[in-house]
Amino acid sequence: MREAVLAIHGGCGAIPKAELTPEADIAARAALRRALEVGYAVLTGGGLATDAITEAIVVMEDDPSFNAGFGAALNRAGQHELDASLMDGASGRAGAVAGASRIRNPVRVARRLMEASDPLLLIADAADAWAAANGFAVVENAYFTTHERREALERMLEREWVDDISPASERDRHGTVGAVALDTHGNLAAATSTGGYTAKPVGRVGDTPIIGAGTWADNRTCAVSGTGKGELFIRLAFGHEVHARMLYRGESLEVAISGLVHGELVALGGGAGACAIDRSGNVSLPYNTEGMYRGWIRQGASYVAIHET
């Protein structure tokens, strides 16, 4: 049996260190630890990587410290449009939803769609209807709203009103949660969930539900979940590109993923980060922003961080 490993991110759009209150810091770190512990319990019980990452992300979708599920960002119309995806590295199957407005835990529905494989991706009302028809919890859109996210939307709209061209803060621009795992059977899996970015156009879809962009897993190489400017991740086919550099160039996980996060994505002007695991259990958590909510856990050791190196 292989050693089980789980790694997560809660978004590279972390609150700037100078603005992070002690209470918010404690809450975010506690949520990261809960997500790691819940997911790792699945792995150590002999469970599949796909199940472990689903449960880890559900913890973050239910916690307002992160931009996914409850506490997700609001679009320009003051509504939530949620995206999620999951990929199994053993079979290559995947599932995703985009623009969902009522699914309480989008990653759970992505997990079920992965099993169905056809359809692989459902959008908007169709995703909500499929979730309800298959017994998943659905809620009113207002369930996802928090006071903090409403204030963030007001800040972004005010910036546009006064024609403020300075860059918005990372926490207002984007943010995502993700998880990758290697289970005791030697299988890899990756999942990602997001509310997008504050004041995004209605109907905008980023990289999170796009297999090969924000999410990728292949037992031959790695499992990857990205966070950042989704349009750039799509243009680079980010997740698949990490896999391809490892498979065809023979690069290590660290070289492949860091080259993209600190190279191509920086050149394109995008704040970005990721969590990834290779088939040997090596973990990489690169980011090019001020901070990234992140962590990992394996036998006898765990790690959680936000801004510290």
Other beta carbons less than 10 A from residue 259's beta carbon: 17
198 phi, psi to nearest 5 deg = -65, 135
What's residue 164's pLDDT? 55
- H or E element that contains 222: strand 222-228
Which of 176, 215, 227, 289 is catalytic? The answer is: 176
- Segment 155-196, tens digit of pLDDT: 889 877 766 545 555 556 557 999 999 999 999 999 999 999
Residue 119: asked if its preceding bond is cis (omega within 30°), the reply is yes
Domain ranges of the chain: 5-305
CA distances 43 to 52, 85, 110, 174, 187, Å, are 6, 20, 19, 30, 11
Residues of the chain with pLDDT under 70: 13-14, 162-174, 309
* 50 annotated active-site: no
The whole-number pLDDT of residue 19 equals: 77
Predicted local confidence at residue 117, as pLDDT? 80
Predicted confidence (pLDDT) per residue in 213-230, tens digit: 999 999 999 999 999 999
Closest CA to 15 of 208, 226, 292: 292
96 C-beta neighbours (distance < 10 Å), count: 30
- Cβ atoms of 234 and 85 within 8 Å: the answer is no
**Which two structure tokens, joined as six digits, stand for 131?**
């979730």
CA 308 to chain centre: 20
Q: Which residues neighbour 306 within 8 Å (Cβ) at sequence distance 6 or greater?
A: 14, 17, 20, 25, 28, 29, 291, 292, 293, 294
CATH code: domain 5-305 is 3.60.20.30
